[in-house]
Amino acid sequence: MDNQGLRILVVVAHPHDFVHCSGTCGIHINMGDSVTVVSMSAGVSTHNTRLSIELNKPPQERDPAVMNKTQQEFAVEKTDELRRVADLFGISDVRVLGFPDHPFFLHKYPEAIEQLRDIIFDVRPHVLITQSPYTSAPEMSSPGLGSGVQDDHNNTAYAVLEAKLQCLNPSFGSIVRSHKIAATYFLGIYFEQSQVDFTVDVSEWYETLVKAESMFQSQGLDAGARRTVDVTLGNPGRYSGTMYAEPFVRESIERYPHLIVSEAALTDSENTIV
């Protein structure tokens, strides 16, 4: 593969959202590119599986270690999980902004745009990977359409896209030069199969991806990590002709100097047995 020396910025709503592109990031780290991961929140109000389990027990049977854990302690735990998972893929630049989650509404925290703008100016990424601004939480939406109900993922996308625009347009009094991001991709897990523009083959990263899922123990994913990877990455892998793949959706139409066919597609065409 050609080494383009890409700088990649990943911005997600919660720490666990990173796994939806972690294999792709690992591939690019191995290619010599750099990756920065930003989580808008520590995810303290999202998927607190251990607490849910304890609350379903009779009071006398509940684990005091779980019941007495403070929000700050839980934030530290989830932040540490993200850092350790990122390290699996060779990523050391991890930033957790600490905004509240579930819900995170941008109109209540407009300073999020400024913080993301500063990060973009600092990293100056060629590629931005972030949440979808178009779809709502699956439990609140119709397939592929969304319900109009905003959630943390939508608002994260709104914030980063506005920050990206502010970095492109110079402001009066600013001494920082503008920056244009070359390509923006949305995590394809929030889209229907027909809406996905491309996938990245992460089959060789399967065991690492399973390990990554299992490390999010605060969400209770350790026991079902393998099944989670099989379900979330197996289906896009199947429809794109491989075992496991991470799907993506382009923000806008891209311009190429000529027709580009992937090496994988050319190899498949030569080896196809009808």
Q: What is the pLDDT along the chain (274 residues), one digit of tens a residue?
A: 467 899 999 999 999 999 999 999 999 999 999 999 999 998 888 777 778 888 899 888 888 888 887 888 888 999 999 999 999 999 999 999 999 888 888 889 999 999 999 999 999 999 999 999 986 544 444 444 444 445 899 999 999 999 999 999 877 777 889 999 999 999 999 898 999 999 999 999 999 999 999 999 887 656 689 999 999 999 999 999 999 999 999 999 999 999 989 888 888 888 765 5
State the SS3 of 203-245.
Answer: HHHHHHHHHHHHHCHHHCCCCCHHHHHHHHHHHHHHHCCCCCE
Assign 272 to helix, strand or coil: coil
Domain annotation covers residue 183: yes
Domain annotation covers residue 36: yes
CATH code, domain carrying 49: 3.40.50.10320
Quote the CA–CA distance of 207 and 10 in Å, as a whole number: 22
Domain annotation covers residue 1: no
Domain annotation covers residue 61: yes
| Domain of residue 78, residue span | 7-271
Domain annotation covers residue 2: no
pTM for the model:
0.89
**Concatenated DSSP letters of 169-181:** S--TT--SPP---
Quote the CA–CA distance of 154 and 159 in Å, as a whole number: 9
Using only C-alpha atoms, the chain has a radius of gyration, in whole angstroms, of: 20
CB atoms within 10 A of CB 254: 10
Strands 93-96 and 127-130, how do they pair?
unpaired
CB atoms within 10 A of CB 264: 14
Number of separate domains in the chain: 1
